[in-house]
Structures are given as C-alpha cells and as structure tokens.
C-alpha cells in the first residue's frame, strides 16, 4: 500500500516519517458576517459563519494507494474510503502536536 501525504506537514509515526508530497488537499471556505459580541476584557469581537465549499487538490482514487489528509477534507468526502487522518496524536510538553501513533480510516 502506498501512502501519500496531502498535508503541508511531515507525519511522524512510530514506523517512520511520511513527508509532504508537495500537493495539499484543502476545503475552500468563506465567511459571512454574523454579529459582534462584547467579550469581557476584549471589547467587541466579530463572529462569522463559515460556508464550506469544494475540496481542492485531491486526486481521484488510485489502486493500492491511500491519501493522508486533514480531518476537514476527510469529512467533506464521505464517499471516499481511501482518505486517512493522523490519530492518537502525540504532543510535546507545550501541547504541540509532534506525531501520531496511528492513521484513522473514515468514520462509518
């Protein structure tokens, strides 16, 4: 099985690192104004509503190939069973993600 990383980040797994392919799959998003709220200590904060669009830069299915993508891309493509996301995340002492112990298949 070939694994292709369609994220901009290296995926560090216990078995090794999967480098980015150079192609990044993304979900387009636009934001519409909702309202302002008065946040304690901050003043007026603008709230927006996202509208998600098409998935960009995602290749079609390929035999013996799975693609590592973001959770948003995977969720936007419920008909695809070849999209994996990093799972069982590993964090450093400051809470930053530094790796994953597994890759997750789409939820059913």
Residue owning tokens 């304690």: 40
Question: In Å, how far are 32, 44, 60 from 77, measured between CA atoms?
Answer: 23, 36, 11
Q: Give all strands (DSSP E) within 1-108, no chain letters.
A: 2-5, 11-13, 16-18, 26-39, 43-56, 65-68, 83-91, 97-104
* Residue 48 belongs to some domain of the structure: no
Q: Is 39 inside any structural domain?
A: no
pTM of the model: 0.85
Q: Please give the mean pLDDT across all residues of the chain.
A: 96
Q: Considering the domain boundaries, does residue 76 fall inside one?
A: yes
Number of domains in the chain: 1
d(CA 23, CA 8): 8
- At 46-74, the pLDDT tens digits run 999 999 999 999 999 999 999 999 999 99
- Give the whole-angstrom CA distance, residue 20 versus residue 107: 24
């Amino acid at each position: 099985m070939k694994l292709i990383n369609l994220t901009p980040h290296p995926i560090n797994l216990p078995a090794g690192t999967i480098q980015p392919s150079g192609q990044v799959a993304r979900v387009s998003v636009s934001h519409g104004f909702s309202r302002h709220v008065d946040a304690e200590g901050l003043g007026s904060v603008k709230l927006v509503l996202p509208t998600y669009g098409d998935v960009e830069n995602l290749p079609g299915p390929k035999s013996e190939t799975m693609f590592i993508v973001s959770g948003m891309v995977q969720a936007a493509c419920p008909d695809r069973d070849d999209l994996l996301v990093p799972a069982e995340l590993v964090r450093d002492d400051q809470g930053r993600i530094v790796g994953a112990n597994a890759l997750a298949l789409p939820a059913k």
